[in-house]
């Protein structure tokens, strides 16, 4: 049960969506986010991705953007990674989806900014997504922002040669954080119920009146 949500004592139950279209777009490097797609194409052609790339695509598939189950991601990695390890694979997917071991779901990888600071010229993207190779550095991470003239010069027709973004990261990332908060609250309530206790409320802070001996610090 290590790589499954059901009956996994280490995994929080999160109501992930089951959207074949989104899952397939992720698997095939067709999300419309060049860095994510380049990583998935490297996985498909070479059977490997740098560990930070694995972090980015795992977050993108689950809590970051597509809201798909980490189980599907783990299965895909298991069947494509040359260095696949059952234990490590399951652990990392639990961690990166914030289903277990790591719970700071508000820390979310940006599919644009995360890699842009490390590779501003997009060398990695140009290698694994040659369709975008002629784009100037300014738009290599966000081709949907390129003017029509720039796209024409690069030989790209969005929606035909390369897809438009499958989701708007700035919107769905916030929606997904709210979903995670709800899932965590339900998990906490369920745990309290099973233990026979009611959820504890945070203690109220005691305030002291300012006196001559009490110095207020700001």
Do 122 and 140 contact (CB within 8 A), yes or no? yes
176 vs 70: CA distance, rounded Å: 14
Question: How confident is the prediction along the chain (218 residues), in pLDDT tens digits per residue?
Answer: 556 657 655 667 889 999 999 999 999 999 999 999 999 999 999 999 999 999 999 999 999 999 999 999 999 999 999 999 988 998 788 888 888 776 776 788 899 998 999 999 999 999 999 999 999 999 999 999 999 999 999 999 999 999 999 999 999 999 999 998 888 788 677 777 666 655 445 445 554 444 443 333 32
Q: How many residues are present in the chain?
A: 218
In 3D, which of 37, 97, 101 has the Cα closest to residue 70? 97
pLDDT at 215: 37
pLDDT at 99: 81
13 vs 66: CA distance, rounded Å: 17
Six-digit token pair at 195?
């233990």
pLDDT at 211: 42
103 vs 69: CA distance, rounded Å: 16
Measured CA distances, 161 to 21, 63, 157, 200 (Å): 18, 28, 5, 54
pLDDT at 160: 98
Q: Give every CB contact of residue 101 below 8 A, 6+ residues apart in sequence.
A: 10, 91, 94, 95
The SS3 of residue 110 is coil
pLDDT at 210: 43
146 vs 158: CA distance, rounded Å: 10
pLDDT at 214: 35
pLDDT at 216: 31
Do 129 and 108 contact (CB within 8 A), yes or no? no
Domains and CATH numbers, the chain: 20-176 (1.10.579.10)
Residue 7 annotated as lining a ligand binding site: no
Do 173 and 33 contact (CB within 8 A), yes or no? no
Do 173 and 180 contact (CB within 8 A), yes or no? no
């Amino acid at each position: 049960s290590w790589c499954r949500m059901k009956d996994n004592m280490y995994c929080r139950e999160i109501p992930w969506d089951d959207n074949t279209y989104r899952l397939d777009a992720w698997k095939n490097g067709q999300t419309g986010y060049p860095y994510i797609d380049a990583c998935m194409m490297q996985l498909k052609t070479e059977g490997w991705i740098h560990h930070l790339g694995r972090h980015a695509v795992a977050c993108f598939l689950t809590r970051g953007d597509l809201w798909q189950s980490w189980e599907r991601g783990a299965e895909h990695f298991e069947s494509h990674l040359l260095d696949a390890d059952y234990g490590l694979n399951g652990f990392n997917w639990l961690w990166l989806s914030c289903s277990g071991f790591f719970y700071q779901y508000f820390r979310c990888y940006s599919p644009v900014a995360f890699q842009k600071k490390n590779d501003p010229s997009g060398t990695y993207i140009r290698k694994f997504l040659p369709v975008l190779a002629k784009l100037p550095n300014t738009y290599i991470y966000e081709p949907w922002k390129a003017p029509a003239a720039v796209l024409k010069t690069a030989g790209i027709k969005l929606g035909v040669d390369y897809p438009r973004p499958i989701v708007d990261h700035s919107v769905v990332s916030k929606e997904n954080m709210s979903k995670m908060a709800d899932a965590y609250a339900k998990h906490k309530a369920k745990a309290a119920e099973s233990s026979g206790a009611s959820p504890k409320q945070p203690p109220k802070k005691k305030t002291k009146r300012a006196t001559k001996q009490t110095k207020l610090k700001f």
